[in-house]
């Protein structure tokens, strides 16, 4: 199973709308992998006792966990938080989110700096690599419940674009180049 992902049509419409291009241009999971995005589907029912989730957390060292619910009325400074989530940014570390209920859009920049929109629903777990430019918005359902995971003490600091000098950004760009280099070699 894979999340639906597509290239964005950038226009001034509400950010909660899908922003499909015409015609629609879907993006396969393999393309997301190429830019370092990881994905699992984990049954969101009884997630507390889910063995697969436990294994992912153990394998990747995700010992920190909390739950974030986003909907109007439930969150302090709701509008401001959402505005900040939708501002293009990077982090020094991975961003790991597991959707328990509801849905939302993670937008990530591809290698050519084009926006890809990834539609996350209950059961979708996604890891954005450190240094990737991204942003988040609710969709028109206006509700999401997310598990946030982290290795060690969490740091949620968002570094807004531009961040070309940031070590995490430089490391990410380097990993992209090494990745495409490997493809060029195997193509010969
Ligand atoms: C609401 S989770 C995703 C938003 C985001 O990019 C972040 O928290 O840094
Ligand atoms: Fe983020």
**What domains, with CATH codes, occur in the chain?**
4-9+20-176 (2.60.120.10)
pTM recorded for the entire structure: 0.95
Check if 97 has its Cβ closer than 6 Å to any atom of ligand 1: yes
Is the complex ipTM higher than 0.95?
Answer: yes
Q: Which residue has the higher pLDDT, 17 or 181?
A: 17
What is the structure's pLDDT at 181? 67
From 15, 67, 85, give the residue whose CB has the most ligand 1 atoms within 8 Å, as the site to mutate: 85
Residue 156 alpha carbon, nearest atom of ligand 1: 9
Q: Which of 100, 124, 121, 120 is nearest to 108 (CA)?
A: 120
Q: Whole-angstrom Cα distance, residue 20 to residue 138? A: 16
From 80, 136, 148, 156, give the residue whose CB has the most ligand 1 atoms within 8 Å, as the site to mutate: 136
What is the structure's pLDDT at 57? 98
**Looking at ligand 1, which residue's alpha carbon is closest to its atom 3?**
136
- Decide if pLDDT at 171 tops 70: yes
H/E stretch holding 44 reads none
């Amino acid at each position: 199973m894979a999340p639906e992902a597509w290239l964005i049509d950038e226009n001034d419409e509400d950010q909660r709308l899908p922003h499909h291009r015409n015609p629609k241009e879907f993006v396969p999971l393999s393309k997301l992998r190429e830019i370092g995005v990881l994905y699992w589907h984990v049954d969101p029912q009884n997630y507390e006792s889910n063995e697969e989730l436990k294994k992912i957390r153990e394998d990747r060292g995700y010992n920190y966990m909390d739950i974030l619910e986003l909907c109007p009325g439930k969150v302090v400074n709701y509008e401001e938080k959402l505005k900040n989530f939708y501002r293009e940014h990077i982090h020094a570390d991975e961003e790991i989110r597991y959707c328990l209920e509801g849905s939302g859009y993670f937008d990530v920049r591809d290698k050519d700096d084009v926006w890809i929109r990834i539609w996350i629903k209950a059961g979708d777990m996604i890891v954005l690599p450190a240094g990737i430019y991204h942003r988040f918005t609710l969709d028109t359902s206006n509700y999401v419940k997310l598990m946030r995971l982290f290795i060690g003490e969490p740091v949620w600091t968002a570094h807004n674009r531009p961040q070309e000098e940031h070590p995490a950004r430089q490391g990410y760009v380097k990993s992209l180049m090494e990745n495409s280099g490997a493809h060029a070699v195997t193509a010969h």
